[in-house]
Structure 1
């Protein structure tokens, strides 16, 4: 089907498993979905025409949908129209790429931006015969996942080799943090093709909510947020809670609260809380909508982000945007986003959990310091992590390899 374009630039985004329309909190729905949705919306507001291609994973999905932001989402028929774990999608990427090739032959975009390694594989195959430039954002790397998950890693065995091949063939790579650059370098990918552009946050939505909590009344509130998967480190937060006797811990993530009993990770966390005798101070909230998240974050004294590894980690940025300080493990993107001793505290990933608890207790005892950290965190987000700044940097990468205009040619 042919399409006519009249926008400043024609941008095709490929996000094979992470639809910008998805409900967050599922095992394969998280930061990448938000990134694609927000970046696409921001580029559309600047006058670009953006089409996001994602795999059709439901039988009743229309082929093409236009979001309220004006972003077009195309559900590509590749494999059965049903949810499939992302680690099982590789066999369907050839069908995905062939569909893209037909689509782009009828109306080629100016640039293709692939999100995740399988999207890169499909995008390059679909763009190759047309000579279209492809930008790659990995969002997560197989080498890192294998290192931390070992035998529990369910990625296809071909993943690392494909990631390297994609990085060598694409026109440019956008990394989200300095730690990822080091990983790409270790993979043998040329540093000159890599640009660091962090993930962003909407500071209008994620902002301090006045009156969200009357600090000084009731127990101190700790908050942890993320998908209910072991690597997020919620178990560490629970064990740390044992060393903070006057605090409560809220964990937001996963399915709706009523469905948590069927969630294995929720059951594991609850059993751990019983073992450490903190179950009376733990609340598993289930999934919390983005609309309600700023109020929840603003109600907390501290946000705990304790993953064992984290490619970028948007939770600390959202917390800082709400003026809430962060205690985070010194891993991945959190090394960039959380400034130790300025917007929160970075703890070594090998720290004993009771030592993390001691750190948390010390912070909770210093309300003035918490207030300073919170204010500095908000300023840091406004200076570095707005979607407007992200779109500026991404557009510069686009314009370096394609006809998409840089800032000077963009309609604001």
Structure 2
């Protein structure tokens, strides 16, 4: 069997959880079946079982406009271009709306099963209009068209399955399959090295709160920055935060960090992409990892932190509820969400609540250590990539069997 994995992100061009997911899923599935990854950008690799093919959007679009809707037009053009190389695969499997129409067209043109993994849902991300402009209407149409026509939809959590049914009530619940994200247990382990801390000016002898993620409304990083004034004044705060969605949110983030530094100068904002070994070091030595997402279908960063034995404080939303166990691997922070934006209805209270739980971990090192150990056990028991790959390949085989029966 040969599967075509369609993705916007693939190493070295990874900026979010979907890219991490495809990187490890493709590697593990290549041990079981033939895998082709079709990604954006200049990619060309062939190991015999894992092949990576890169394509660029149409230059007439990329060079023809700077409007915010450009990203949606680029996605549509690239999805069309990818049709030229999908005729010889057995199953097409898309990740995120950026490539969803490639799966839709591959099914229609070549008669192959179409699997779609949803890492987030456009109807639940109204703030994306800030990033995509009027192109948000196109991204929403592309996602809806594909998800309604897919032969199988993979939800990365039970919470995401519920969101799919809510956002797209015409989708049959029977075709939605919950398969979690995973973690490389050998790669993500606590390390004694502190070279990365020294590199970025962080004092290894003093506790620090860590955030890793993009500067986007979804990840809630500005709420964490607002929470700093409610934390102990001498705690270090490390923000591995880059790739802002828009210039506006980048400017907002900068202003908030500058304001927070007036009370706590020990804020280290790492704006560039850090390497994987550096990230593992930062996870390994943090006093607490904080995930303040306001919308999170899964939250793979929590797995990464837990695998490195970091205690976690995370917002009680979406798939995070299936990863972080309250008072066992960390603390969950609930908030009342606006029904349209999913943003906290009372952002100041959310920031205070985040700070209170972070402070509780900082003030109880023994409990923090117990949280970290329990987190490692949890990822080992539930989230190994080998198991995720096996479940995914089994789904492919069932779809191919159903197709053979119909013939």
Residue 271 and residue 11 in structure 1: after superposition, are their counterparts in 2 closer, same or farther (change >3 A)? Answer: same
| TM score, norm. by length of structure 2 | 0.83
Cα displacement string for residues 267-309 of structure 1 (whole angstroms, at most 9, x for unaligned residues) = 234223135x12x121112321112211111110100100121
Matching residue within 143, 154, 163 for 1:174: 154
3-state SS, counterpart of residue 318 of structure 2: coil
Match of 1:114 in 2: 94
3-state SS, counterpart of residue 225 of structure 2: helix
Match of 2:373 in 1: 375
Match of 1:231 in 2: 218
The alignment status of 1:196 with 2:178, answered yes or no, reads yes
User: How far apart are residue 241 of structure 1 and its match?
Assistant: 2.2
Instruction: Indicate the RMSD between aligned Cα atoms, in angstroms.
Output: 2.9
Please give the alpha-carbon distance, in whole angstroms, between the structure 1 residues aligned to 2:328 and 2:185: 19
Please give the alpha-carbon distance, in whole angstroms, between the structure 1 residues aligned to 2:315 and 2:390: 29
Match of 2:303 in 1: 317
Matching residue within 70, 73, 78 for 1:88: 70
User: Map of 1:56-135 to 2, 5 A cutoff?
Assistant: 56=41, 61=42, 65-66=44-45, 71-80=50-59, 88-93=70-75, 95-105=77-87, 108-135=88-115
User: How far apart are residue 111 of structure 1 and its match?
Assistant: 0.7
Match of 2:241 in 1: 253
User: How far apart are residue 151 of structure 1 and its match?
Assistant: 5.9
- Whether contact under 8 Å (1:51, 1:71) holds in the other structure is yes
Match of 2:208 in 1: 221
User: How far apart are residue 69 of structure 1 and its match?
Assistant: 9.2
3-state SS, counterpart of residue 275 of structure 2: coil
Matching residue within 234, 241, 255 for 2:228: 241
Match of 2:341 in 1: none
Cα displacement string for residues 360-389 of structure 1 (whole angstroms, at most 9, x for unaligned residues) = 212222122111111110011011112112
The structure with the largest helix share of the pair is 2
User: How far apart are residue 77 of structure 1 and its match?
Assistant: 4.4
Residue 100 and residue 238 in structure 1: after superposition, are their counterparts in 2 closer, same or farther (change >3 A)? Answer: closer
**Aligned length, in residue pairs:** 371
- Whether contact under 8 Å (1:101, 1:127) holds in the other structure is no
| TM score, norm. by length of structure 1 | 0.82
Cα displacement string for residues 234-287 of structure 1 (whole angstroms, at most 9, x for unaligned residues) = 2222232222223110011327xxxx9x95355234223135x12x12111232
- Whether contact under 8 Å (1:234, 1:269) holds in the other structure is no
3-state SS, counterpart of residue 174 of structure 2: helix
- Whether contact under 8 Å (1:309, 1:332) holds in the other structure is yes
Structure 1 window deviating more from structure 2 (381-390 vs 115-124): it is 115-124
- Whether contact under 8 Å (1:228, 1:253) holds in the other structure is yes
Structure 1 window deviating more from structure 2 (203-212 vs 393-402): it is 203-212
3-state SS, counterpart of residue 154 of structure 2: strand
- Whether contact under 8 Å (1:325, 1:370) holds in the other structure is yes
